[in-house]
Structure formats: C-alpha cells, structure tokens
Structure 1
Amino acid sequence: MTINWADQRALIIAPHPDDEVIGCGGLISRISEAGGEVHVMYVTIGADVQQAAAGFSTEVENREEIEKVAAHLGITSWHVALPKAAQLTLDQVPRLELSRVIEDTTPISLTTLKPTLIAFPHPTSYNQDHQAVAEAAITALRPSDRRRRHHPPVVLAYEQAADQWRMTPTAPPNFYVTLEPRHVNAKITAMDLYASQRREYPHTRSDETLRGLATLRGMQCGAEAAEAYECMRLMA
C-alpha cells in the first residue's frame, strides 16, 4: 500500500517532549519533506520539575528544545495541552479530561484539526504517562457516527525501544513506514536537539538505540530502515 504523504494532515500525540521523535521522527520527516502537515500535541512539558540530571527538565528548557526540533523537522504547529501537569503524573488525571484535550478542547484537537492520520503511544508501554495518554486517545477515537464526529482514516500506535519491558504479550507490528538514510538522520539529529533528554548508549534514548531499532524494523519489511506501528484503523 502506498500513502501519499503530501496529502496528510498528521496529529502526533506526545505525552512529553521527545516522545514524538522517538516514536515518529521518521514519519514526521517523511510527511514534512513531501509537503504535508504535521501537528504535535504535547500533553505535558513537565512544569515545576527541576531534576534535569534524572531525565526531567524545566518548562522553559522544554519549550526551547521543542522550537529547535520543530524547525528542524518542519513541524507545522505544536501545542501543550496541560502545561501545569508534572511529568509521570498523567495517570492521576481523569481519563475524561485527557480524552477531551485530544478530542475537542485544544487548538489542534480532533474536532478542530480533523487530521487524516493520528499517532499516539502504544498502550503496552511500561510508562504510566504513555499508558494514560494511549487509553485517552483510544477513547477519543472511539467508533461512532462519522457524520457527527471526525474519524481519522489512519490511526497508529507508535513504539519505543523498551515498551516490551512490561512482558505483556503483544501482536507484532502491522504497519511499517520505510525510511531512507536522510529520514533516519533527521530523526537522530532531532533527538540530539533534545539535549536534556538524550542519553548515551545503551540507554533507550541514545542515537545507537534509535538507529538500531530502525535497522531492525527495516529488515522486517525488506527495507534499509523503517518505523513500526500498530495500525488500529485504516480506511480507504
């Protein structure tokens, strides 16, 4: 199946800054390169957390890094849905509230943006914020009357290298986005721009890990490199 990336208006849901790059950096690069739109909703930017050495960062630092990444990847627009929510506490936010920010209460919500493609974290992630956002997205994207609610034709759940740590049995990926070396390099550079989040190998947020996973997923679909997703909806 061939998708015309130039026709896409994508919405990427990122629980925190850098999740969009780790899970979808290659996809973002392909869409923006083709002339399509990519919008990123950051659910939180870790306000009031001051533990940069432990992998967290301040709101100001996060916004500065987002601006650099958006310019590098050609992201059309971005929005922070819950700027005052601290990282690793999204599982304490009622699912109704999380679902509403995705569905209709933000400038790039489903109702306002009407994306053709949406991607969010895989619900099997060990990270509680990722789980909460995934479940909220699934609720917001629930099947209903297409004449009354927007249904994005392509719904994807993206992965991160250590998602399988929960040991929850999962189906293998069923949707691959093939990448050229320039797309992988764009993803790696974007991760490097998240200086407060990037780590040295063998950390899951290292350049080597991202490149290695892209190589593995490429092998699985007969390409040089790829990103893998679970496709939850595909409407022709």
Structure 2
Amino acid sequence: IMKIEDLVDRVLVFAAHPDDEIIGCGGTLARLSEAGKAVYVATYTYGATAARSKEEQDKMKQRRKKETEVTDKILGVKERVILDKPSQGVTNDRQTYQETIRLIRYYKPDLILTHSKDTHKDHNAIKGIVPGAAYQAAEEIMEKELGKRWHTPNVWLFEIIRGFGEYSFCVDITNTFEKKVEAMKAQVSQQRTDFLSGLIQRITGRAVIRGADIGVKYAEAFKKIDTYPTPL
C-alpha cells in the first residue's frame, strides 16, 4: 500500500487565513513533518476583518502572527510566508497570481495543498489562483522574473466549510490528530462566543467520518486535480 510519505519530500500549502491549514490538512502536515518531510505554508491574509479600526487590525495581525508561530511549532512547519492581502479581498489579479507562481518555483514542492470550492470569498479566490499558477509554474515563462520553472506533480484540494461529495485520497491522521486539535486551540484570537469550540467540534466530526471511510480513527480527505500532464 502506497503511503503519502512515498509521494512527498516537500509540501507547500496555500491557505487564505492563518488557521485554514489546520482545519484542512493539519494532521497531514504533522504526519509529513514527523516523517522528516519539509512543510511550507503560504498564507494570503491575516484574517483581521473582525477588527474595526486600523489600530485594532494591526494588533490583530500581530496576535495572529504569534499564533502562527505556535501553530508552526506544533505541526512542524519549516517556514511560513504571509502575503498580507486584505481579508475578504483576495483577488486573482496579476500580482497575486505571479506571487503564487514565484512561491511554487522557490519552494519546489512535490505536493501543493489548497482550497476547494467553498462558501468563503477568499477560499474561492485562492481555488481560482493556485491550480493555474501551478500549471504555469511548470512552463518556460518569466523565469528571469519569477524563478526557474518547476512542475509540481500533485495538487490536492482540502475541505474547510463545505465537505466533499467525492474525493481522491484519505490520509490517516490518527497518530497526529491531537496535534491538529492542539494547533486549533492555539488560535486564541478566535475565542469569541463558542466559535473556536464549534470549529474543533466540526473538525473532529469530519475527521471521524473520513476515518470511518478508510477504517481508521481519524483521517483527512483530499481531491486531486490535474494541472499538467503526467508522463507515464
């Protein structure tokens, strides 16, 4: 039986907000890190829309940056880049698209993980950016400006709000699920009403369901998309 460790040496996650990689693939990232694989995360926004004033937004950004540092230690993230796009304002413009290509060419991942179609505006924007950027990162274009071309053989989408009806892979995260929950609990800026506890309940329920699909305690589901032909 092939395991994810057999496919991946370097994984790059593209996520809208600082906690999305935890919800969508935190257990998988921890599993890969424990296996000695390099885990990188690119976060497009700080998710600071809850703050009203500019001063409050700056404080929220600093708070969330500290939370990402805790998260990265828990999950074993080697390096994180925060692009500081406006929350609820991520767009598929030329600059953002080229920044995404540049990151793919810089980190040279074997696997890209990113958003699937969802109900959140930023999630959908990134779903529209990353697959095309992964495709064009492999083409012989703008190498002087954006780095030497790189073909990522695996591009997978993860679940955040909407669950998959059909999907390609389930990764067993039974041994790393507690790290996923621990990383989620570190998001103290989300401690408004019962929001955080509700999120933990949601990711637990989904992990149990996905685990049941493959006969393990906890799992995460992914949908593979083809961005570039794979030679056989």
Query: TM-score if structure 1 supplies the norm length?
Result: 0.81
**Structure with greater helix share of residues:** 2
Using the alignment, how far apart are the partners of 2:154 and 2:7 within structure 1? 14
Using the alignment, how far apart are the partners of 2:186 and 2:6 within structure 1? 25
Using the alignment, how far apart are the partners of 1:206 and 1:140 within structure 2? 30
Relative distance call for 1:197 and 1:118 in structure 2 (3 A) is same
What per-residue deviation string (whole Å, max 9, x for no partner) do you get for residues 81-133 of structure 1?
2x2x321111xx343222211111xxxx11111101110000x2010100001
| Alignment-derived partner of residue 114 in structure 1 | 108
Of 80, 96, 101, the match for 2:94? 96
1:49 shift after superposition: 5.6
| Alignment-derived partner of residue 175 in structure 1 | 169
| Alignment-derived partner of residue 145 in structure 2 | none
For residue 61 of structure 2, what is the amino acid of its counterpart? Answer: E
| Alignment-derived partner of residue 23 in structure 1 | 24
Of 177, 186, 202, the match for 1:184? 177
For residue 109 of structure 2, what is the amino acid of its counterpart? Answer: P
What per-residue deviation string (whole Å, max 9, x for no partner) do you get for residues 159-196 of structure 1?
01x325xxxxx65011111112x311110000000111
Using the alignment, how far apart are the partners of 2:138 and 2:100 within structure 1? 18
Relative distance call for 1:200 and 1:172 in structure 2 (3 A) is farther
| Alignment-derived partner of residue 159 in structure 1 | 159
Q: Does the Cα contact within 8 Å between 2:105 and 2:137 map onto a contact in 1?
A: no
Unaligned runs of 5+ in 1: 165-169
Unaligned runs of 5+ in 2: 141-147
Q: Does the Cα contact within 8 Å between 1:6 and 1:31 map onto a contact in 2?
A: no
Is 1:87 the counterpart of 2:80 in the alignment? no
Is 1:226 the counterpart of 2:219 in the alignment? yes
Using the alignment, how far apart are the partners of 2:89 and 2:197 within structure 1? 21
Query: TM-score if structure 2 supplies the norm length?
Result: 0.83
Is 1:142 the counterpart of 2:135 in the alignment? yes
For residue 219 of structure 1, what is the amino acid of its counterpart? Answer: A
For the residue of structure 2 that corresponds to 1:28, the secondary structure is: helix
For the residue of structure 2 that corresponds to 1:10, the secondary structure is: strand
For the residue of structure 2 that corresponds to 1:223, the secondary structure is: coil
For residue 101 of structure 1, what is the amino acid of its counterpart? Answer: E
| Alignment-derived partner of residue 167 in structure 1 | none
Using the alignment, how far apart are the partners of 1:77 and 1:202 within structure 2? 28
What per-residue deviation string (whole Å, max 9, x for no partner) do you get for residues 28-49 of structure 1?
1101111111000011114576
Relative distance call for 1:200 and 1:173 in structure 2 (3 A) is farther
Using the alignment, how far apart are the partners of 1:6 and 1:172 within structure 2? 22
Using the alignment, how far apart are the partners of 1:8 and 1:129 within structure 2? 28
Tell me how many residue pairs correspond in the alignment: 217
Q: Which moved more, 1:94-103 or 1:66-75?
A: 94-103
